[in-house]
Every structure is written in structure tokens, then in C-alpha cells.
Homo-oligomer: A and B are copies of this chain.
Amino acid sequence: MIEIQSTKNTYVKELKKLHRKKGREEQQRYLLEGFHLVEEALRSEATVVDILISPRGAKEWASWIAEQTVPMTYISEEVMEAISEQPTPQGILAVVSFPKPKKMTLQGKWLLLDCVQDPGNVGTMIRTADAAGFTGVFLGEGTADIYNLKTLRSMQGSHFHIEIQQGDVEQVCQAFQAAAIPVYGSELNEQAVPYNTIKKTEQVAIIMGNEGQGVSKALLSKTDANLYIPIYGKAESLNVGVAAGILMYHFS
């Protein structure tokens, strides 16, 4: 068994570039940390290019490792610490290819994200969309990257379960409306429609917006209706991930 021991190794240098969006886009792949997510990736349709294992990981998952047929690379703890973005790496990392672009399914239930900035919020919303039985999540421009470490951590593998698409939110809204699927914006405005008065439908598209600014005015003007979640206390607003959960479960 050969173990990479130098953080200056060319392959290691390439992997470290995956910490940044630019590097991920150039190489068309991303890093996935931790045993649970690596297992999820292997069970999914995703292409796992390589699994990186440190001595700690090799010891911890010895019997599991023996059963795998994917390529594996052994690296020293020092190299693992250089590649991992966790304070205390578990000792196992997967290098996963970007999925091939697929035609978007223009039916069912969709969550559309308009400039949601926090990776934790984006990941949580994708996880919730999965739990709520949604068809997919559409990440509009200005939304946090799906392959950011924090997004991946809070998403808990849900990007392997539901459809993820990216692009222009306004265009996709037009496509939903052309397909007679209602598009609802979300708004912190008592003039908007209380969400619980809206009839549940089999097909729906719900737009969630930026943490500070909300959904852009331009988009709100083109929806079928804009929903709001009543605030009964003195809080100014809800966390966007919590709000998305309440709205999605209303349609589940």
C-alpha cells in the first residue's frame, strides 16, 4: 500500500483547489467529507472518482473498505488535514464528479432559491425539500454554491435524492406558469396572502429569497401570488430555512 505523505504532491495540490468554487468548476468535481456522506454517494447515481483514506480512517472502516470496488488513495494524517476542511477530519473523503446536466422536470413541487446567501440555509432547504417530497430545488444566480462544504454538511446527502437545477429564476418561473403550475413568492408583508389560506395543489413552485432583502421585487411582481407566514409575536421575521420548511410542508 502506497501512502501519499507530502502535502506538495501534485494530486494533493489539485484536490486542495476543490475548496474553492473556481477549482471545483475547473475540475468538474467536489469533495465530500465523512463516512456517512461517502456511503450515500456510493449508493447514489453519482460518479465517485476516488476515495481518500488516512490511517485513522483505514483502521475505523477496515471491513467496509475491504468490500469496496471503487478506486482508493491512501494519504497520511498530515495530508488528510491539508485536504479536509473539518477541524478534526474523520479520515475519509470522496472525490465526486459533478453530475451530467439533465433536462429539468417541469412538474411536481419545486423550491426556487433567489439569492439565498448562507450555505447552511441552502443545504437545510434542500434537505427539507427532500423530506417534504419535493421534486427538486432550483438554485438561482447569487445563491450559495451547492458544493460548498457548509452546504454539503447541512444538506446531508439530499442532493443525491432530488433534482437540483441551476440558472435564471425568472425564466424558470415563466416555464412553470406556461405549464399551468402556480408560482408563489414569499414575502414579509401583511398585504401578501397568508400561506395557510392557499389551497394545497399537487404541483407548485415556491420562491424563497435572500436573508436580508427577501425575494427580488421584479420576481414578486410576476408570481401568481405572494405568500406570507403570519408573525404572532415580536420577532421581525423567520429564518429563511424555517420559513421554507413551513411553506413546503403546507403543500405536502
Contacts and interface: CB of A to CB of B under 8 A. Distances in A.
Contact of A124 (B131, B162, B242, B246): B242
A24 interface: no
A235 B156 CA distance: 8
A45 to B, nearest CB: 13
Interface in A221-243: 229-239, 241-243
Contacts of A131: 229, 231-233, 235, 237-238
A154 interface: yes
A20 B90 CA distance: 27
Taken together, the copies of this chain in the complex come to 2
Nearest to A125: B242
B130 A239 contact: no
A193 interface: no
A38 B231 CA distance: 22
Contacts of A172: none
A182 interface: no
A134 interface: yes
A148 interface: no
Q: How large is the interface on A (under 10, 10 to 19, 20 to 34, 35 or more residues)?
A: 20 to 34
A249 interface: yes
Contacts of A233: 129-134, 158, 161-162
Interface centre among A127, A130, A239 (most CB of B within 10 A): A239
Contacts of A241: 124, 239, 241-242
A211 B112 CA distance: 27
Interface of A: 120, 124, 127-134, 154, 156, 158, 161-162, 229-239, 241-246, 249, 252
Closest 4 CB pairs of A and B: A133-B232, A242-B245, A130-B235, A161-B234
